[in-house]
Amino acid sequence: MTAQIDFDDFLMVDIRVGTVIEAVPFPEARKPAYKLKIDFGDEIGIKRSSAQITVHYQPEDLVGRQVAGVVNFPPRQIGPFMSEVLTLGFADENGDIVLLQPERFVPNGSRMF
């Protein structure tokens, strides 16, 4: 069973939309991944993220795509790379990640409610 939280707990997780401006392979990662630079708008700026999304996406297809990310987790060292945001997605039937993204364009930095 899933643990229950109240709405105030949910509001503590700051989920924002940003546009991928750079995506490159991350060969040093233990599992296949890309290093992303994501523009979250003027308030938050450009942040880096490591994302294990290599099955469904190629780096050139990610640039210009809007994605959702948690922007208020502490940075996490992943090998030689510091990941500043958690890029969000769902596992498909094989456990491979499919990105969570808005249905339509929204301004970078928009918060999910």
- pTM summary value: 0.94
Please report the pLDDT score of residue 66 as a whole number.
98
Q: How many CB atoms lie within 10 A of CB 86?
A: 18
Name the helix (H) or strand (E) containing 105. Answer: none
Domain annotation covers residue 2: no
> Could you tell me which residues come within 8 angstroms of residue 4 by beta carbon, excluding any fewer than 6 positions away?
none
CATH number, position 25:
2.40.50.140
The tens-digit pLDDT sequence of the chain (113 residues) is 788 999 999 999 999 999 999 999 999 999 999 999 999 999 999 999 999 999 999 999 999 999 999 999 999 999 999 999 999 999 999 999 999 999 999 999 999 98
Q: Is 57 part of any domain?
A: yes
Tell me the C-alpha distance between 51 and 87, whole Å.
7
Assess if residue 62 is contained within a domain: yes
Number of domains in the chain: 1
DSSP SS3 for 35 = strand
In a domain, 44, yes or no: yes
Decide if 109 is inside a domain: no
The answer to the question of residue 47 being in a domain is yes
- The answer to the question of residue 6 being in a domain is no
Amino acid identity at 35: K
Domain that holds residue 80: 15-99
Give buried/exposed letters for 5-43 (b at 16+ CB in 10 A, else e). eeeeeeeeeebbbbbbeebeebeebeeebbbbbbbbeee
- Look at residue 104 and tell me if it is in a domain: no
